[in-house]
Each structure stands twice: as C-alpha cells, then as structure tokens.
Structure 1
Amino acid sequence: MPKRVDHEHRRQQIAAAVRRIAADRGLEGVSLNEVAAEAGISKGFVQHYFASRDDMLRFATTTLRSGLEERITAAPPEADPTVRDLLVALLPLDDAARDDALVANAFLVRALKDAEIAGHFRTGHGQLRDAVAAMIAAARDDGDLLPTVEPATEAGLLLALMSGLGDAVLLGYQTGEEAVALIDLHLSRITATPRKTP
C-alpha cells in the first residue's frame, strides 16, 4: 500500500526552512536551492509544492504568526492571557521571538512590492488588532480598565507602540526590560482604580 503523504505538513516544513533562512540572512538568502538544503529535501521536491520562489515566499508569509501564537498559548491553561501578556509576546525578548521579528521585518520589505504579501500582512494585522480590541473591551467591561477606553482606538495605539518598541529592542536602543516597563507605564494610564472592598 503506498505511503500517504501529508501535503500540508510538507508545505509547512518548507515554510519553516524559509523562515530559518530569512532570520539568518534575510530574504536575499532564500532560494529554491537554499531552502531545499535547509529542509533536507531535493530542489525538485520544493518545486513540486511551489512553482516559483515567489509562490514559496507568499505561502511562507501566511505562517508568520505561528511563533506568536505559540508564545501566547504557552501560559498555563487555567490562566487566560491578558492584554499585557499579548503585548509582551510581541516583543523580541528571546531567540525565538527575535527570529520571528527578523523574519517579519524581512517580509515587510518584500510586501512593499508584492501585493499578495501585503494583503497577508493587512489580514494578519487586522486579526491581531481585533484580538487586542476584544481583550481590551473585556477588561474594560470587567472594570479593570477605565470606562472611557475605546477598544479599537486603544488597540491601534498599542500595536503602533509595539511596532516601535520591537524595532528598538532589535536594534539595541532599548533593553527588553525597558520596553516592558514602557508597556506597563502605558497600561497604568488606562487601568481603573481597584474597587475598595467593604
């Protein structure tokens, strides 16, 4: 009986090789030959799944959020992630998160000239903004945040803050601890005063 091939797993395997190369050398280091070598497969095998380098890069763009999602879900199952947890997970505070940030930045440059990749970025950003806004709305409704906080606007501000902080940490302008302290400072400005118990 012929062995059944998990085609999605193979595509993910190739995308993971693309991300590793991009983190180390940028997208200029990504070629069909290099990806095949990194993945431990033949160039023909890569071409079986992706007709061109562009096709491969476009698919790899759809996998960029996997590292972030893993960091967010790494919290104990009994603890729901907070807005702060999500924001801290966006920072390049360890090797894996740093690699994810380097890869995202490499693809961001590519997105400026590739409408499909740009579309993936817009979709991903919209999903992330909606997730942050939903968490902010829930925290506001629970009385943890000021009642004047507008979730969609605050989510946009927070993601803009995270973009700048992430680049600052990557480039060494700020340490991870300084970036987290700035997140805490901002959140303290929208945090409701705890209710006193009688």
Structure 2
Amino acid sequence: MNSLLPPNATRFERALEAGGARIVDVASPPDLDDPMTCPVELLPWLAWGLSVDTWDADWSEQDKRVAVATSIALHRHKGTRLSVETILGRFDQLARLVEWHEAQPRRPAHTFDVILPMVTGDGVAAGGRRATAAFAESIIREVGRVKPLREHMRLVQQIAAAGAIGLQAVLRAISYTRADALLTVDTSPDWAAYLQTEDGEPIEDGATGTFLDTRP
C-alpha cells in the first residue's frame, strides 16, 4: 500500500491508515443505498445517513421505506405549507391544513389549524388510533418540525353532526420541541401582547379559544 502519511507519522497513525484501507474489502449489498430494496434491518442506518428527522420502530416496513425515500425532497421544501401537508398525508389522508386567511371567520395572522375529522364523510366515527392522545401528540410534534418558524399552530379534532346541524371542535393549546427552539420566539407586534410559551407559542384559553392577553 502506498502511504500518504509523512515520514514522521506515528505508529498509531500508520495503524489507522492500514485499518482504513481495508474497509474497501468489506463486502456490502449492492442495493444498500436504495430505500426500496435495502434490507429492512439496515433501514434505520440509511435513514440516519439521509437525515430522516423522525423514526418510529412501530412503523410498517412500507412507511419506513417511504420516509427514507422522501427525506431529501422533504428537506428541500421544509418550512413551507407543502412540507406540513406532506407530513399530514403521512399520518392521515383526512387531515387538512387551514391557514389563517382561509378560515371563516379569519384567524389571527401567522396561524394555521390542522383539522383532524373524528367522523368520516359517510358519517362513520373515526375511532381507533386516530382518536388517541398519542396520535394527536405525534401530529403536533412532527408538524412542529417542518412548519414555518413564525407560524403558530393548533390542532382541531373535529366532530361534524349528522345532517350538517352543527360543528363541534376540541381546541388544544399547542407546544412543541425543537433543537433550535430559541429561534422560534415571535416578537412581532401582533403577538407581543400575548402570553407565550418558551417555544414562542401563544397560550390559548381552552374554554374560549382566545389567546391570553397581558394587557389589562
């Protein structure tokens, strides 16, 4: 082996070089970098190499492969509406995003709702996993990872009455965790008067759906 080390290299440095040179002799599957053909037991390592933000061992094999395959594309549009809708589609096809200017009546600027129907279009109760607190928390956590930093979110678990008689919604105050949480504090004039969490989320009154105001 032709060494690239200088003449005064230590024995330890030469041993590292010799050991590293043998890596090319280690056999590896030819499809190791393909998310759709990679051995399932090696998918977590491929996910780490492609910076998949979230990994759940309980996902189905297909869900794991899709998460790895779409990681690069998701990073390209992270922080946009499309990134939020992509995450919602991964959780539930009925979940939808409503931005502040689309709501009736309009919501405060820089807010959006994630609507999670508890009753399907044919009137069937959407129970099971969708109705669990763990499912709701997972949506909050994953949307918080990809949403625009200045946007404030709330999850609405929606129950539409039969015959369109009325609409009930359970509003949940949202907090989320990010490694760069200090960067998410919104100091714009629109939000300066509201009590906020350490993550910059305005604190919402669960009974009235209004934000807690610091002004008398």
TM-score range, shorter chain: under 0.3
Q: By percentage of residues, which structure has more helix?
A: 1
Q: By percentage of residues, which structure has more strand?
A: 2
The structure having more radius of gyration, on CA atoms, is: 2
TM superposition score normalised by structure 2? 0.25
Higher relative contact order (CA 8 A, sep 6+): 1
